[in-house]
């Protein structure tokens, strides 16, 4: 099996574990936006923003560090054992710290204190399974990884359906059920799913000899701490705009913006599936003499698929919005969708480009780029939200991820040259983005023109890439 074919196969399996949950989340977005008003949806958004920040803090770059050292270290079990013990110990220690800081945390997130226990429970359980899940990916056990993830999904979706829809729909009377506390039931469902996931993967804690190598941990930390800072900056880039909208405008706008942001879920699916397969792949094939050419080819086709997805979603946005969002009150923020899709595509390209600083052990550059993006996010939102409203947040997201992408490319070519076909990549991005904006602003709901725009993009790809595609397909036979 060729290198590219193996990469596609692994990514497809991880994609299954990503796509099915995201497809179910599409349904859940509809359920949540149907049952919870825009102000209530702002509460869900705040909860998961808090979870995102805490997840980054509790894993402190160890997942990426694990892949780097697992691919190079002779005693791979020692690497896994050290990371497992470190993350388990610090996570349990953090449990006490978080509980002591519950008041300022809930105040910062503007969450009711009653939600805090659910928040802590979810982030602690999720942090405990990071090392075992990373080990499954590193060992190529994609099917087991996918299976556990799908069980998590089934529990979360089932409980959401029962608690938010079935009980009130069938007028079931339970003494413990309160129809005014629907947000609480969303968080309970998440906590239950995380608990079952932990129980399923807990046996892996005892399948190896537990050894903690202090010297190795120091090396892991040295590699991983810039990833921690970059991760926190990424959470700022991804989420702070929502909190700022809620604070500078109102919770109604925050909820509508957050709901329409979910229409970028298809791009998020693609990027997440790519990352799950790409990170271990990039490390495992770094010593291959053709690795740079392989990385360049992967990025080009990543952009082709991502740009095509952007064009399709925007061309048929009015169909997708009715499928994904249950309450028309959310549609007031629909204009953000083309820009959020483009921003997420820039982010996906950035993750692809990040191979250079991960392979050359210059993770501090990732930290610098992410902090710059966070600074742009904060500054642009602070200045422009009072002037142009929620669209400022969409434009700021494009600017932040676009700048990160470009700077990473130029620095990467200096330290780890990869022969990216910049002209083709730029052409595909321009054509897809221009087509999407023309469809959205000029030919909205004109599906004949939309279809022609998509066919024109596909024809361009076929015309320019047919020779290489035939070569790749023949090589994989």
Report the C-alpha gap between 3 and 367 in whole angstroms: 30
Give the DSSP letter of residue 101.
Answer: T
Per-residue pLDDT, averaged over 231-256, amounts to 84
CA dihedral of residues 229, 230, 231, 232 (deg, nearest 10): 50
What's the pLDDT tens digit per position in 198-207? 999 888 777 7
Q: Supply the angle between the helices 130-138 and 76-100 in degrees, to the nearest 10.
A: 160
Residue 286's pLDDT band, with cuts at 50, 70 and 90, is low
What integer pLDDT is reported at residue 11 of this predicted model? 58
Q: How many CA atoms lie within 13 A of 301 on its CB side?
A: 15
Residue 8 binned pLDDT confidence (cut-offs 50, 70, 90): low
| Closest listed residue to residue 451, CA positions, set 332, 305, 260, 319 | 319
Q: What is the mean pLDDT of the chain?
A: 84
Q: What is the mean pLDDT of residues 321-342?
A: 85
Domain boundaries, the chain: 3-475
Instruction: Specify whether the CB–CB gap between 5 and 477 falls below 8 A.
Output: no
Using DSSP's 3-state secondary structure scheme, residue 399 falls into helix
pLDDT given for residue 279 in this prediction: 62
Does residue 251 sit in helix, strand or coil? helix
More confident residue, 263 or 392: 392
Does 473 have pLDDT greater than 80? no
**For position 2, what pLDDT does the model report?**
53
Q: How many CB atoms lie within 10 A of CB 294?
A: 18
Q: What does the DSSP 8-state code read for residue 1?
A: -
**Mean pLDDT score, 297-304:** 89
Q: pLDDT tens for residues 172-197? A: 888 888 887 788 888 899 999 999 99
Higher pLDDT, 361 or 219: 219
How far is residue 441's CA from residue 428's CA, in Å, rounded to a whole number? 20
Mean pLDDT of 280-285: 67
Q: How many Å apart are CA 387 and CA 390, to the nearest integer?
A: 9
For residue 175, give the 3-state DSSP assignment: coil
What pLDDT shows up at residue 13?
Answer: 61
pLDDT band at residue 264, thresholds of 50, 70 and 90?
confident
Tell me the average pLDDT across 81-92: 93
Percent of the chain with pLDDT over 90: 33
Give per-residue pLDDT as tens, 353-365: 888 887 787 878 8
pLDDT for the residue 399: 95
The better pLDDT of the pair 231, 194 is held by 194
pLDDT at 58: 92
Residue 345 has pLDDT above 50, yes or no: yes
pLDDT at 383 over 90: yes
Proportion of the chain above pLDDT 70, given as a percent: 90
**Residues contacting 169, CB < 8 A, separation 6+:** none
303-330 b/e (C-beta count within 10 Å ≥ 16 → b) = bbbbbbbbbbbbbbbeebbeebbbbebb
Contact criterion met (CB below 8 Å) for 418 and 296: yes
Q: CA 144, 148, 151 angle in degrees (round to 5)?
A: 140
pLDDT recorded at residue 475: 57
Q: Between these two residues, 15 and 235, which has the higher pLDDT value?
A: 235
* CA–CA gap between residue 443 and residue 387 (Å, rounded): 28
Q: What is the pLDDT of residues 33-51, one digit of tens each?
A: 777 777 777 777 778 788 8
């Amino acid at each position: 099996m060729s290198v590219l074919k193996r990469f596609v196969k692994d990514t497809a399996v991880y994609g299954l574990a990503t796509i099915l949950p995201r497809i179910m989340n599409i349904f859940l977005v509809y359920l949540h936006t149907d049952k919870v008003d825009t102000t209530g949806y702002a509460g869900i958004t705040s909860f998961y923003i808090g979870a995102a920040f805490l997840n980054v803090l509790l894993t402190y770059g160890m997942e990426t560090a694990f892949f780097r050292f697992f691919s190079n270290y002779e005693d791979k079990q020692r690497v896994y054992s050290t990371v497992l013990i470190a993350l388990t110990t610090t996570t349990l220690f953090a449990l006490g710290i978080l509980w002591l800081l519950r008041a300022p945390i809930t105040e910062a997130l503007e969450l009711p204190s009653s939600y805090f226990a659910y928040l802590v429970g979810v982030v602690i359980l999720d942090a405990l399974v990071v090392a075992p899940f990373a080990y499954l990916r590193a060992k190529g056990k994609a099917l087991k990884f996918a299976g556990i993830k799908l069980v998590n999904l089934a529990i979360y979706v089932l409980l959401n359906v029962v608690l938010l829809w079935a009980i009130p729909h069938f007028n079931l009377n339970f003494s413990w059920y309160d129809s005014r506390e629907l947000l609480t039931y969303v968080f309970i469902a998440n906590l239950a799913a995380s608990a079952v996931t932990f129980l399923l993967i807990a046996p892996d804690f005892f399948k190896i000899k537990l050894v903690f190598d202090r010297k190795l941990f120091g090396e892991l930390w040295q590699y991983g701490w810039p990833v921690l800072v970059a991760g926190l900056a990424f959470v700022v880039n991804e989420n702070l705009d929502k909190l700022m909208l809620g604070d500078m405008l109102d919770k109604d706008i925050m909820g509508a913006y957050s709901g329409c942001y979910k229409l970028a879920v298809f791009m998020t699916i693609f990027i997440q599936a790519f990352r799950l397969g790409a990170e271990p792949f990039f490390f495992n094939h770094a010593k291959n003499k053709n690795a740079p050419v392989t990385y360049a080819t992967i990025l080009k086709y990543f952009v082709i698929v991502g740009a095509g997805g952007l064009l399709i979603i925007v061309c048929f946005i009015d169909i997708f919005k009715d499928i994904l969002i249950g309450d028309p009150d959310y549609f007031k923020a629909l204009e953000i969708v083309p820009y959020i899709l483009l921003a997420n595509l820039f982010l996906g390209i950035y993750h692809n480009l990040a191979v250079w600083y991960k392979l050359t052990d210059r993770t501090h550059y990732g930290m610098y780029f992410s902090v710059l993006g966070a600074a742009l996010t904060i500054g642009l939102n602070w200045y422009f939200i009072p002037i142009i409203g929620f669209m400022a947040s969409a434009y700021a997201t494009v600017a932040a991820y676009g700048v990160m992408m470009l700077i990473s490319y130029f620095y990467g070519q200096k330290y780890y040259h990869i022969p990216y076909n910049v002209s083709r990549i730029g052409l595909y991005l321009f054509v897809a983005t221009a087509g999407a904006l023309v469809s959205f602003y000029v030919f909205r709901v004109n599906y004949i023109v939309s279809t022609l725009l998509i066919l024109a993009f596909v024809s361009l790809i076929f015309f320019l890439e047919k020779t290489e595609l035939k070569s790749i397909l023949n090589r994989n036979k």
